[in-house]
Amino acid sequence: MALKIRLARGGSKKRPYYHIVLADARSPRDGRFLENLGSWNPMLAKDNGARITLNNDRIKHWLDQGAQPTDRVLRFLNEAGLAKRDAKSNPEKAKPGKKAQERAAEKAQKAADAAEAAASAE
């Protein structure tokens, strides 16, 4: 059975509250889970200590048993020092789109033409 440490959403509309749970990977997001391992309240300030609560002992136990955390939970575990998350980098995603690159090239060409015209006029 593949186990995941993931978020289960609670709270009302526009007021999210998440439980960090251990669940079978096949069960639905807010469905059956095996154990509650903590909580995350994104409505609180980032420097608030009650924003994220973790049951460190149980999380360590389940990680040793082979449970896989989701990316968001892995971020929390990395901050708590329970697991290591490698920084991800996608430099291709940061590049402007095709149309924006064409516009930038066109603008640079116009600037070069204007500079050339100004140099020849002097």
Q: What is the number of other CB atoms lying within 10 angstroms of the CB of residue 25? A: 12
Do 7 and 53 belong to one domain?
A: yes
Is the same domain home to 39 and 66? yes
Q: Report the pLDDT value the prediction gives residue 88, as an integer from 0 to 100.
A: 79
When divided into structural domains, the chain yields a total of 2
The whole domain housing 44 covers 3-80
Chain mean position to CA 6: 13
pLDDT < 50 stretches in the chain: none
Assess if residue 25 is contained within a domain: yes
- Check residue 30 and give its pLDDT: 85
Alpha-carbon distance 120 to 113, whole Å?
Answer: 11
Q: Do 41 and 67 sit in the same domain of this protein? A: yes
pTM (2 d.p.): 0.70
**Both 98 and 63 in a single domain?**
no
Q: Are 22 and 65 members of one domain?
A: yes
